[in-house]
Amino acid sequence: MTHEIVAAADGSALGNPGPAGWAWYIDADTWAAGGWEHGTNNMGELKAVLDLFEATAHVPERPLKVLCDSQYVVNSLTKWMPGWKKKGWKKSDGKPVLNVELMKELDAALEGRTYTFEWVKGHSGHPLNEAADSLANAAAQAFSKGQAPKTGPGFGKTKNLTAPHASSGESTATAKLEKPVTDGVELDADLQLAAVRQLEHQLASPSTYGSRSLLSGLLSEDLTWVTPAGRVLDRTTVLEHRERAFALTGQGTPVEATLLGEGAALLVSRVETARGAVLRSSVWHVNKAGHWKLRYRQETAASSATSPQT
């Protein structure tokens, strides 16, 4: 029997627009959050759903039930999107669809998936919705202070991926949210690697590397970055020239994920780019505050990486 994944997705924007956050939540060990320096509540709501589908893309056989307190999101993804696509991503009045880039990404992410959306009333005590709301708001608050938000462990190995329904577990689900989460440092090996994979995934998103404050929150102070051309960059250079540094970015195909010891992990992935295949090696480590940071990255042309040595 294939178990259904039940998750709540929510967004938050201080001032709307203003510092914005997004989050999805399954249980205390399975959630993710992020945001932007400037955005809208609807952007947060959509991004939360998008990240949820991307985080669960490796288990497409599992039906996904998404709980949203935004009728805009539910209607957009279940009613309006087919018509918008036929009209070239324009509304019935001929005006461009708002948040069209997120909509297009969602359209691709939903392709081939089995899913349902359910509207829930916000701030009504629903345990999963309240958890997602709190995490999204915390992310927005972090951006308002110039800080990077807690990104969460992501979707990995958990004891209960089916999550409680609204009719049960209200008190326990809310209590779980208060459990300290240190981005994987206190978790077992599988969950540590899942947390790092989630951060690597987030790092490849334009909404992350396009924001100096969010990107800086993921990079170690001692970062060493080796480009395909062999140039060695430090953290300051990567931040100042982040668009160029991430020119070959993309969600790669995992090749290897290994813990190098306590609080250190190596991820190797293959990324197909317009310039050819690239092998990306990333070393993440846990800093003194208990957060995973990118410590080392090297991108090498796959042909060079696999050619015989002379």
pLDDT tens digits, residue range 119-160? 999 888 888 999 999 999 999 998 888 887 888 899 874 333
Res 162: pLDDT: 32
Annotated binding site: 10, 45, 69, 133
Closest to 8 measured CA to CA, from 70, 58, 80: 70
CA distance 178 to 187: 16
Amino acid at 21: G
Res 271: pLDDT: 81
Q: Tell me if residue 107 is catalytic.
A: no
Q: Tell me if residue 222 is catalytic.
A: no
Res 115: pLDDT: 96
Active-site annotation holder among 51, 133, 200, 299: 133
Q: Tell me if residue 69 is catalytic.
A: yes
Res 185: pLDDT: 34
Judged against a pLDDT cut of 90, whether residue 116 lies above it is answered with: yes
Angle between helices 41-55 and 127-144 (to 10 degrees): 120
Q: How confident is residue 163, by pLDDT bands cut at 50, 70 and 90?
A: very low
Active-site annotation holder among 21, 35, 44, 45: 45
Q: Would you give the DSSP letter of residue 76?
A: I
Interval 83-93 mean pLDDT: 93
Res 199: pLDDT: 78
Res 108: pLDDT: 92
Interval 263-279 mean pLDDT: 82
What percent of the chain clears pLDDT 90, i.e. is strictly above it? 43
Can you read off the two tokens belonging to residue 160? 């209960």
Q: Tell me if residue 45 is catalytic.
A: yes
Give the β-pairing of 232-234 and 219-226: antiparallel
For the chain, the straight-line distance linking the first and the last C-alpha, in angstroms and rounded, comes to 53
Res 207: pLDDT: 67
Task: Please check whether residue 170 is in contact with residue 120, taking contact to mean a CB–CB distance below 8 angstroms.
Answer: no
Res 180: pLDDT: 29
Res 177: pLDDT: 28
pLDDT tens digits, residue range 16-36? 989 999 999 999 889 999 998
pLDDT tens digits, residue range 166-216? 222 222 222 222 232 333 333 457 667 777 777 787 777 776 777 777 788
Annotated binding site for Mg(2+): 10, 45, 69, 133
CA distance 65 to 140: 25
Active-site annotation holder among 27, 29, 69, 299: 69
SS3 203: helix
Instruction: List the domain boundaries for the chain.
Output: 5-181, 190-306
Closest to 263 measured CA to CA, from 295, 292, 289: 292
Which of the two residues, 260 and 114, has the higher pLDDT score?
114
Which of the two residues, 43 and 194, has the higher pLDDT score?
43
CA distance 19 to 133: 15
Active-site annotation holder among 93, 94, 123, 262: 123
Fold match flag (5-181 vs 190-306): no
pTM flag (> 0.85):
no
Q: Tell me if residue 88 is catalytic.
A: no
Q: Tell me if residue 10 is catalytic.
A: yes
SS3 29: coil
Judged against a pLDDT cut of 80, whether residue 47 lies above it is answered with: yes
Calculate the average pLDDT of the chain. Answer: 80
Res 90: pLDDT: 94
Can you read off the two tokens belonging to residue 80? 């309006």
Question: According to CATH, what is the number of the domain 190-306?
Answer: 3.10.450.50
Domain 5-181 fold is Nucleotidyltransferase; domain 5 (3.30.420)
